[in-house]
Amino acid sequence: MRIFGTIEVLRSITVLKIMEDKLNLGTDQIDQSSTAARVVSPTTISSTQEAPAYQPHTMRIQPSKGWVSLKLDELWEYRELLYFLTWRDIKVRYKQTALGAAWAIIQPFFTMVVFSLFFGRLAKVPSDGVPYPIFSYAALVPWTFFANGLGNSANSLVGSANLITKVYFPRLTIPIATVLSGVIDFALAFVVLIGMMLYYGMVPTINIVWLPFFLLLALVTSLGVGLWLSALNVEFRDVRYVVPFITQLWMFATPVAYSSHLLSEPWRTFYGLNPMVGVVEGFRWALLGTSNRPGLMIAVSSLAAILILLSGAYYFRRMEKTFADIV
């Protein structure tokens, strides 16, 4: 019995020893494999594929000093933004209005009716040999485009305060888009002008090819004055109360309700220092053939418009660094 019991104990010890050896062997294999994974894996990765060094792109936005360049190349890079801002202004302009885009026709048309009654019939103002209604309406179409662009661009920066304070982009795009959006209103009012010309039996001459130039002259004048007023309006909110007065005074200083031929030379040429004089007289000459080519007057008006645009653009760029802080 003792021998049998001893054999059983030895057998159990042997089995336990074998199991212990197996466990130790498994542990050593696991340790070796994990060590290999820890040591070999980084070496293998680094030897086979090295990750490129990351160099972050840093852009520093800081205020400019003194007079700065216009940076027209930067404006060209943001041309898509200019398109979307223009389209936004067109869609929002007559949103939730009963008459919609008809206001682009109603405003100059009924102004023409009032002028025809008081200046044409009662005051008997000369109209260069053409019916007074079409004489005044041919001037009101470009004038309305100019006046609306001037008023809207003057308040454009203040109206876009949330956009200016949150993201960087060329601020020039805001007033430019505001003025460009008025081209649609001009086109609608111009269609009525063509209808009135057909009603009065007037056919445009070859001079109509100059019409895009006069429209561009009105756009340049409106944008130039708008840049001045929009930059001033950010700092001095009195500007928005002055703009309607300036627009009204400017209209009576422009031959909208009367003809520039009431002035004699050389005063008529000096009258062209008002850029809208060249625009209005150019429209009448190109469409109605009211007088000889007002070449010298248009040259003076064009020079004045360019000076207004350049000075307004440089002043706008100089004050641009303060817009986000005080708008």
**Rounded Cα–Cα distance for residues 85 and 134 (Å):** 34
- pLDDT for position 61: 58
Per-chain mean pLDDT for the chain:
82
Contacts of 9 (CB under 8 A, 6+ apart): none
| Nearest of 111, 121, 125 to residue 259 by alpha carbon | 125
**Rounded Cα–Cα distance for residues 280 and 260 (Å):** 10
- Quickly tell me which residue has 């409106």 as its tokens: 222
CA quadruple 96, 99, 100, 105: dihedral sign: negative
**Rounded Cα–Cα distance for residues 103 and 96 (Å):** 13
Contacts of 130 (CB under 8 A, 6+ apart): 200, 202, 288, 290
pLDDT tens digits, 203-256: 888 889 999 999 999 999 999 999 999 999 998 888 989 999 999 999 999 999
Global pTM exceeds 0.85: no
Residue 198, pLDDT above cutoff 80? yes
pLDDT tens digits, 80-92: 999 999 999 988 8
pLDDT tens digits, 113-155: 999 999 999 998 998 889 999 999 999 999 999 999 999 999 9
pLDDT tens digits, 284-327: 999 988 766 778 899 999 999 999 999 999 999 998 888 888 87
